[in-house]
Chain A
């Protein structure tokens, strides 16, 4: 069997909630349906083995559970399990979607929760709004509506401004009426962040501490991200660190905090001064600390660490031939002056871009991590270009 024929074994979730995708998840095709039971066994055993390995047991157990649920669906005539499809947020036990009609708040809660967990945000928001019309006095339903909108924020679903504003207003009322409701504060801060109202989030900080005695981690991360987008950026980084310190074993918190720190680091790109070098390094070191121990996050931070380490190194950009000639001519008196003029920092070379007759920029731009770090960063020399300039044809950089 070729390598690609066994790739399906390592796929963690089916692509969609259909029988065809469930079969594909077990390698049918390329295998025929008569081999389905064997393939299910092979996949289940592989992930079972991973679930007892030295690392990644949690993920492996989750996938093993998905395999079991899909085995029931395909071989025992069960219904397609919920929350197992790629991109879905929950993947626990198979759960039937509650009926679309609701006659009690409990039913409404169950329905909206199920819809958001399946990624059906439009229906979730509409259903929650219907609930809001039915029970306008209920705080629980008000939170539910704001929660449905906040859950959709940051996903591919486009939340309308009208929904966003309505949800903000609703959660503001809830936080006034129920100041100890943790979900309401998270919802409000998330919605304000989605609307770009960062200054208002910062005003929330003191209020949350006053009402709750501290800031819960999910809200702390929302505030940290908001701070990054204000002049009070370093306090945002402090908050990201605090979030990690609250539970250093939580890979999710480490990922979110590291991403916040990288967003801060990108604010200093492109580096155009020695001061920027220091700040960039500081932000990257926070990202590295947050990512520590989580391999998948460390990989994301690594290019930034490499650039932080090297950006301030010097590179000779003058002419070697001229240097030797003039040095001998001036009995080496001119050499230190020439070096001071011709030695440039790596960040300077990248910032100045390609210069006619000089190849140092091209040598640096061939280093993939430098391009990765500067992806999406605007340089003067990059204007109107889609990609970084290639080295001139026929030139050997070595």
Chain B
């Protein structure tokens, strides 16, 4: 039986875990003993590629040769703040390719630990990820030479790891997942048999611990400017050193009222100090945004703020005390913390991987846990002319259980219409400005149709995340056109093949 491991491909850190037939889960450490691999890639001048802790260290010396936070750009052209593509020695590296390097490194660790080549994985993603981001994650696995058996939502993975599914009681849970780079809030219904269904999700792909670090860093730069009239950003070494220390200060402030770290700028020492009160006022706007997201998600889930039985905190940044106070204030429940905030998502993925492997001991709990139900994180619709305006008509609303399907009736908009333009959108909004176009197709009627002639548009979204939209003549049933969208990504087939071949030749320790 070929093994399947669970991977938490995080924005700042990644973890790989494996569960045996009896349900015993272990986090697989690398040869250097580290259980958590920073999602950082460093490209040395000789063409070597370093992933993880050593890449973080090298990035201090040569920050322009190191990539970090690339998960934020999954499915997009760039992950850099300035919108530019990440380029080293003339080669552009997409977020998918960079992620594949991290996956390859984790799979190598797992292969050497389990003494067999790992080819199949379960990868976790934020519940709020849309179709392009999920497809990009699959592609990253593919480039790394891995079969992605399942994409699992991070909150679901955390809930599995926490044993929420094994308590035999029905409840509604709010999972608050504030990681290094993304923020997810999910309301889930847990059935008495352990079945988990995501009821509503909300989040922010551009908000996480790294943003709080950046704000502390900004404060450091301001104080240095005031005291020494020096620009921190002009001294790359001092800047990267300060960035790492900003992260340490943030972590310290979760347990202490005041934190301090020594910095060096222009050869002069400087002690930077920050209190928890000042830190909280510094991130007040982000706290407000997080509060709004939680309230919006609860509203989407229905049942109001009082309908939550439990609050589970996941992700390193959920340790910041203000967030547990906020959740308690909103839901009236004392939040419980995931057993190990940094590793539980990978553990949950590993448990599901063991379930999918199909060789679990019938006596173990793995055999008892039901497969989590996937739901569409965003609605899927088509563009239609309504009155004078093109709008998005949702066919599969967000929250629909996958596989999902739906059908609507539309009408021709002109006399003697010969063609039909079909556009597939992601999003629940009616206004096209606020949805994302995923694909389009142009089809012909066999003969001209009069105005207001019916057209039947059907859509299906299967468990393999393939979206199919078909248009038929509403009267004759003749097929007009279709859109098949399976794991569309920004990389072309040749680019994928090239990246895969390149990674085959790479040897990670």
A52 B415 Cβ-Cβ under 8 A: no
Query: Given contacts A44-B292, A50-B429, A295-B390, is CB(A55)–CB(B434) below 8 Å?
Result: yes
B414 A52 Cβ-Cβ under 8 A: no
Q: Does B293 contact A (CB under 8 A)?
A: yes
Q: Does A245 contact B (CB under 8 A)?
A: no
Q: Which of A333-390 contact B (CB under 8 A)?
A: 363, 366-369
Query: Given contacts A45-B295, A48-B292, A48-B296, is CB(A54)–CB(B433) below 8 Å?
Result: no
Q: Does A60 contact B (CB under 8 A)?
A: yes
B427 A295 Cβ-Cβ under 8 A: no
By beta carbon, the residue of chain A nearest B203 is A52
By beta carbon, the residue of chain B nearest A61 is B206
Q: Does B470 contact A (CB under 8 A)?
A: no
A205–B51 Cα distance when bound, in Å, is 49
For A295, list chain B residues within 8 Å (CB). Answer: 383, 390, 432-433, 437
Q: Does A169 contact B (CB under 8 A)?
A: no
Residue from B128, B390, B414 in contact with A299 in the complex, judged by beta carbons closer than 8 Å: B390
Q: Which of A226-255 contact B (CB under 8 A)?
A: 249
Q: Does A56 contact B (CB under 8 A)?
A: yes
Q: Does B171 contact A (CB under 8 A)?
A: no
For B203, list chain A residues within 8 Å (CB). Answer: 52
A56–B378 Cα distance when bound, in Å, is 14
By beta carbon, the residue of chain B nearest A247 is B83
Q: Does B204 contact A (CB under 8 A)?
A: yes
Interface size on B, residues (CB 8 A): 36
Residue from A44, A55, A368 in contact with B436 in the complex, judged by beta carbons closer than 8 Å: A55
Q: Does B154 contact A (CB under 8 A)?
A: no
A49 B433 Cβ-Cβ under 8 A: no
For B416, list chain A residues within 8 Å (CB). Answer: 310
A50–B416 Cα distance when bound, in Å, is 38
A217–B416 Cα distance when bound, in Å, is 41
B292 A54 Cβ-Cβ under 8 A: no
Residue from A52, A54, A366 in contact with B435 in the complex, judged by beta carbons closer than 8 Å: A54
A366–B419 Cα distance when bound, in Å, is 18
By beta carbon, the residue of chain A nearest B433 is A56
For A367, list chain B residues within 8 Å (CB). Answer: 414-415
B434 A50 Cβ-Cβ under 8 A: yes
By beta carbon, the residue of chain A nearest B434 is A56
Q: Does B426 contact A (CB under 8 A)?
A: yes
For B426, list chain A residues within 8 Å (CB). Answer: 54-55
Q: Mark B417-437, 1 if CB is under 8 A from A, else 0.
A: 011000001111101111111
B437 A293 Cβ-Cβ under 8 A: yes
Tell me how far the C-beta of A70 lies from the nearest C-beta in chain B, rounded to whole angstroms. Answer: 15
Q: Which of B122-164 contact A (CB under 8 A)?
A: 128, 130
In order of increasing CB-CB distance, the 7 nearest A-B pairs are A54-B436, A56-B434, A295-B432, A55-B436, A56-B433, A48-B292, A55-B435
7 A/B residue pairs, CB under 8 Å, sorted by A:
A49-B202, A49-B293, A52-B202, A54-B427, A55-B425, A55-B436, A398-B450
